[in-house]
Structures are given as structure tokens and as C-alpha cells.
Amino acid sequence: MMKLLKYDFKRNSAKLLGVAVVLILAQLSIMLLMNDITLIIVITLLTYMIAGVILFITPIRTYSYNLKAYHRKLLPVHSLKTIISPIAMGFICLLILGLIMLIHGYVYLTVYDNTQILYIIKTYPMDTIISLLSACWIIINMFITIFLAITIATSIRSKGSFWIGIVVFFIIVNGLSWLDNLLFGGAEWGFFRIFADESNSSVNGVLTNMNSLQTSISGGMIGSFIFELVCSVAFLYVMVKLIDRKVEA
Amino acid sequence: MPIVSIEFDNNMPIYLQIMNYIKRQIVTGTLKPGDKILSVRELAAELQINPNTIQRTFQELEREEIVETRRGLGRYVTSEESKIMAIKKEMAGALLDQFIIGMQELGFADQDIVSIVAEAVTESPEPGQERGVNHT
Amino acid sequence: MSSLLQMNSITKSYGSKFALNDVSLEIGPGKIVGLLGSNGSGKSTLMKMVTGLLQPTRGTLTVTGLPVGLKSKALVSFMPDRPLTESWMKVRDAITFFQEFYDDFDIVKAREMLQFMKLNESDRVSVLSKGMSERLQLTLALSRDARLYLLDEPIGGVDPVARGKILDAIVEYYNEDSSIIISTHLVRDIERIFDEVVFIREGEIVMHEEVENIRIKYGKSVDDMFKEVYAE
């Protein structure tokens, strides 16, 4: 696994380094050249968003490349590692970006806090931690579901396989969201709701789940989490079978 | 064993061609009795020939007792003069057959052929002796 | 000794088209086998199936008795028709990649072969000429101590000098317990390094014979035989 991860990183190293450099330069120029505080906040968040999107797309591209690459398919390496390696890469990159954002945000808030955010975080530490963990879980879950759609699309040897993949993706997400809802009665939490429920549509923001502050840990939430966990394991199993039996280079 | 080069004819079994080549080297003295022969791998790489074909060549040569294997040392040309003589006879026989058939096709009678050969041998220059054929 | 490769009634179809049709083939150890056929005859399909890049539609396939999978992949070394490297790599990185993933990779042999092939470890793989690139591919494939080597058109697009080098390397670096299957449509240049040849046409095996037998039985070169089979 670590060897695959190393080569996934190596192949993308130029791009990842580029993102880091551009991000740093952008933040520096924002700090040095801008005065309007609202504009600073908006543009800062925007640059983080763009970096986040690039870091999110990179492992997806890496995975779909690896599925077809001869030198990867020929390796005597278990297919599960083929799936997990790009997820790990994406997760590590986004985690680092998240940490930078957190530190940046914390510094910013201690210097000019004109909102109540820091106060709210300090009052509800458990909620904050759960929000962060849920963001991590959402990212991993999203990768797994997208990878499943890619794997299914790649297993099909016909022309419209790309669109089939996209349709499959939305069917999975909405179908599971519906099931989730049916089973656990609409706890305002969980990855599958993102695409089903437009109001809750930020991907990698740390401040995503502000409304989850109202929902502390409930039975529905744990049930929902277990449901997603079981689904993810099932997805991984299906993907391994597909890679071993159906995906052809 | 010197560096070799053979023009192969792909229409004939390669192992026979290599056998003949080695025999000719022995007869002409390029390979001396008791000389070490290249290994299968070396000869295969040298000639760009399948190693199993070379192996077969050596097996056939061993069967004809022209080449002998000394355990752990490699393969050597036989030191027995009689074997080398046998090759010479064999090759001479082949040459003669070819020659006689050719002459007969030209319409020479057996006696004429003998006298033509006798005449040619007395006239032929010295280096011809090295060919070794006219001893028989 | 049991066979290295055993294919039983392998069929590969795409819709109504057959890439391979009911192919059965057995290859023993210690052989250099020519897989001969024109473009699109099914040579690459057969090789990709042995290496697990393609799945048979029907039939069974084993390598040293094992079904195609993790264990068989560790025993099979494949030189495909496209690069086994990534564009960011230098020759050195490609070697390291193989060394890290294949336990049977022989780094000493690899260094020797690089030198023999006049390849520079610090060269980027993306700037190598076609001939040099094929030499690198061959170096990577032959530097493993695999049981079965599959070389897809190893002398396809290279000049005669490189061709000679590649043939030299194949004869010199393969080991006797394993077998090599070489696909090509350039029969004449390479026929003398084969033990056996398999003629494949339109996805079917039309002949599998020892080359010396072809010469003894028919008094013909493999090349002539090849032309005859494909002229029909």
C-alpha cells in the first residue's frame, strides 16, 4: 500500500507542489495588497475552495488512470490497495489543506473576531470535533462512492460508459439517501444527504455543519453512520470483484 | 574456439548446419583435437540461435563421439585421431558423391573421371593440400 | 515437469466478434516460442489474457497450474506494446519501480543489461527514441527471474542494430527453467531463436510445431511456412 501511495504521490508531485505554491502566493498577495475585510474573507475562502477542489479531483483522476495503466494492473498487488491508495493520497492532501485552513482561521479569529464563531466553538467543543470528524468521513465516503461509479463505468465496454458512470453515481447517492431516510428518520447528518438535500451542499469546508450544532449525537446519527460504513465496505467489495473480473486494460 | 559466423539457410535444420560447421572447423584445423568448445549459452548468443538447438547440436556431436563432455569442465573436441579421420571420410564422401553425379551428368564415363581427377591433382597448386580432401 | 502455460478452449468475444476462438495451447518449460500472426490476429489478446489484463469470455487458463491472479502475476513478466513507465520517470526510477514491486527483480542483471543496451540511468524515459524505449521495456521485462516471459513485438519498430541487440539479450538473459513467448510478424529476422512456433490467424491457432520439425518435414523455413499459411 505504502509503495503504491508513494508512486501516486510521485506522479502528482508537480501538480500538488504547484497548488501549494499558488495557494501560498495567493494568500500572501491577499494579505499584502487588500484592505477590505469582507473581500479578504471571500477571496481567501475562494482560494481554499479552489485548492480543495483540485486536491479532490486529483485522486479521482489518479484512480481512473491506475485502473487502465498496464504497469499498475500487472503488479502482483491486491486490488483493494489500488482503491485505497488514491483515497489515502486525497485524504492526506485535504487533511493538510484543512489543517492550514484551521490554523489560518484560528489566527484570523483571535486577531479580529467580530463574530461569535470562536465563542460558539469553545462552548460546544464536542460538536466541533464531531463536525470535523464528519467532514473527514464525508470526504472518504465521497471518494468511495465516486470510485465505485468509475469502476462500474470502466467495467462496461461500450461507448456511453462515462455517462453510465454518472447516472450510476446519482442513483447510488439518491437511493442510499432515501434508504437512510427511511431507516433512520431524517437525522440531519451524513454524506448521502449532500446531493439529495441542496441546502447542505458544501464539500470540504470545516464550517460546513453549522446546523449540526443543534443536532447533538442522536441514535439516528449513529445508525446512519453505521449504515454508511456498511455500504462503504460493500462498495469496496464490489469494486475489488469488478477490478479482478471485469475491468480490462 | 574462435569467433564464428555462419550464413544459415533457414530451409534446413539449423542443428545440422551447426554440426557441419563445427565438423568443418575440426577438419580444417581451426578447432584442434582437445580444444575447448564454447558453452551452449555462449554459442547461442554468438550465433543468435536458440540455446536448445545448440544443445541438440552438441548432443548429436557427442553421440558421434566427435565432442566429449568432461564433467564440470565443459565440452572438448575429441583427441582421437580416428574420429577426426572419420569426419574427413564422411565429408570427402559427400564431396565425391556430388562430384561424381555432376561429372556423370556431363556425360563422362567412370574411367574418364578417374583420369581427369588424376590429371587435376598433379596440376593443382600446393595450398590445396591443406583442404585435406585429397588424402583419401 | 508440468506445463508452464495451459490454455483450455479459451474464447474472447466482443459482441459477435471473436478476438480468440476456442484456443487451446500448452507451453512447457525451457522453450522460446514464437507467436506468429499478422496484426489483429489475436497475438496481443492472448498475451493480455495470460497476464490478467483481459478476462476470457470462456475457457480456463493456468500458469504453472495457478489461475491468473496475484500469484500468477508474480511469476509472469510481460513486455507489452505500450510503456511500462510513467512520463515523470528517469530510467533509474523505472528500475526502482520494478525492484520495489517484484520480488524476483534482479538488480545486478538489470544494471548489466542497461549497459549492454547502452541505456543511461539518468535519462528521462519520455525523451527516449522508440528503439531505446523498446530496449528499456525489454530490460525491465527480462531483468526479472520470472517463469514465463511474454514479449509483444519486441523487434517491431527498431532498426537492425537494435534488433540484433534485442535478440542477443533475449538469448543471453533468459533462464532455462522458464519459457519465453515472443509475438511478431517479422518472422525471418527472428526465427532461429525459436524452439516452437504457434501460428495464429483470425483468433484461431492454425499450427503449433517445433521449428526444426518444420525444416525437416517440409524442407521450408518458418518464414516460408508463415507466408504459405497466411496466403491461403
CB-based contact A85:A60 (threshold 8 Å): no
Lowest mean pLDDT among A182-196, C27-41, C69-83, C160-174: A182-196
Q: Per the CB < 8 Å rule, is A75 touching C14?
A: no
Q: Per the CB < 8 Å rule, is C52 touching A14?
A: no
Q: Per the CB < 8 Å rule, is A75 touching C73?
A: yes
B34 three-state secondary structure: coil
pLDDT at A113: 64
User: What amino acid is encoded at A43 in this protein?
Assistant: I
Tell whether the model's pLDDT for residue C92 goes beyond 70. yes
pTM: 0.83
Chain A residues with CB-CB distance to C71 below 8 A? 76
Question: Chain C residues within 8 A (CB-CB) of chain A?
Answer: 14, 48, 51-55, 69-71, 73-74, 78, 80, 82-86, 88, 93, 97, 100-102
- The rounded distance, in Å, linking the Cα atoms of C156 and C134 is 9
Residue of C33, C36, C171 to mutate, interface with B, max B Cβ within 10 Å: C171
CB contact C30 to B (< 8 Å): yes
A234 three-state secondary structure: helix
Q: CATH fold of B14-79, please?
A: Arc Repressor Mutant, subunit A (1.10.10)
Instruction: Name which residue leads in pLDDT, A148 or B117.
Output: A148
Class at the top of the CATH hierarchy for domain C5-231: alpha beta
Lowest mean pLDDT among A218-227, B41-50, C48-57, C99-108: A218-227
Q: Which residue of B has its CA nearest to C191?
A: B10
Mean pLDDT confidence for B1-26? 80
Mean pLDDT confidence for C98-119? 93
CA distance B54 to chain C (A): 10
Tell whether the model's pLDDT for residue B131 goes beyond 70. no
Contacts across the B-C interface (CB distance below 8 Å): 60
Tell whether the model's pLDDT for residue C229 goes beyond 90. no
Residue of B10, B16, B39 to mutate, interface with C, max C Cβ within 10 Å: B10
Go through chain A and tell me how many residues it has: 249
Report residue A100 as a C-alpha cell: 492550514
- The rounded distance, in Å, linking the Cα atoms of B55 and B48 is 14
This complex has an ipTM of 0.90
Confidence of residue C176 (pLDDT cuts 50, 70, 90): confident
Domain edges within chain A: 1-114, 124-249
User: What amino acid is encoded at B50 in this protein?
Assistant: N
Q: Per the CB < 8 Å rule, is C192 touching B49?
A: yes
Domain edges within chain B: 14-79, 82-135
Beta strands, E only, chain C: 5-14, 17-27, 32-36, 58-63, 66-67, 76-79, 148-152, 179-184, 196-201, 204-210
CB-based contact C76:C104 (threshold 8 Å): no
With both helix axes pointing from N to C terminus, report the angle between A2-33 and A79-111 in degrees, rounded to the nearest 10.
Answer: 20
pLDDT, mean over chain A: 83
- The rounded distance, in Å, linking the Cα atoms of C14 and C22 is 14
Confidence of residue A132 (pLDDT cuts 50, 70, 90): confident
Burial of B120 (0-12, 13-18, 19+ CB in 10 A): exposed
Mean pLDDT confidence for A134-151? 93
Of B133, B55, B58, nearest to B88 by C-alpha is: B133
Q: Per the CB < 8 Å rule, is C53 touching A75?
A: no
Query: What number of other Cβ atoms are within 10 A of residue A116's Cβ?
Result: 9
The tens digit of pLDDT for each residue in B100-109 reads 888 888 888 8
pLDDT at A218: 55
> What percentage of chain B carries pLDDT values higher than 90?
6
Query: Per DSSP, what are the bridge partners of residue B68?
Result: B76
- The rounded distance, in Å, linking the Cα atoms of C27 and C190 is 19
CA distance C228 to chain B (A): 14
Contacts across the A-C interface (CB distance below 8 Å): 50
The string of DSSP letters for chain A reads: -HHHHHHHHHHHHHHHHHHHHHHHHHHHHHHHH---HHHHHHHHHHHHHHHHHHHHHHHHHHHHHHHH-HHHHTSS--HHHHHHHHHHHHHHHHHHHHHHHHHHHHHHHHHS--SSHHHHHHH-HHHHHHHHHHHHHHHHHHHHHHHHHHHHHHH--STTHHHHHHHHHHHHHHHHHHHHHHHH---S--THHHHH-GGG--SS-TTGGGGGGTS-S-HHHHHHHHHHHHHHHHHHHHHHHHHHHT---
3-state SS track over B74-126: EEEECCCHHHHHHHHHHHHHHHHHHHHHHHHHHCCCHHHHHHHHHHHHHHCCH
CB-based contact C74:C104 (threshold 8 Å): yes
What's the DSSP call for residue C105? B
The angle formed by the CA atoms of residues C62, C63 and C65, to the nearest 5 degrees, is: 65
Q: Per the CB < 8 Å rule, is C80 touching A70?
A: yes
Mean pLDDT confidence for A133-153? 92
Tell whether the model's pLDDT for residue A194 goes beyond 50. no
Residue of B5, B17, B50 to mutate, interface with C, max C Cβ within 10 Å: B50
- The rounded distance, in Å, linking the Cα atoms of B67 and B37 is 9
Chain B residues with CB-CB distance to C194 below 8 A? 50
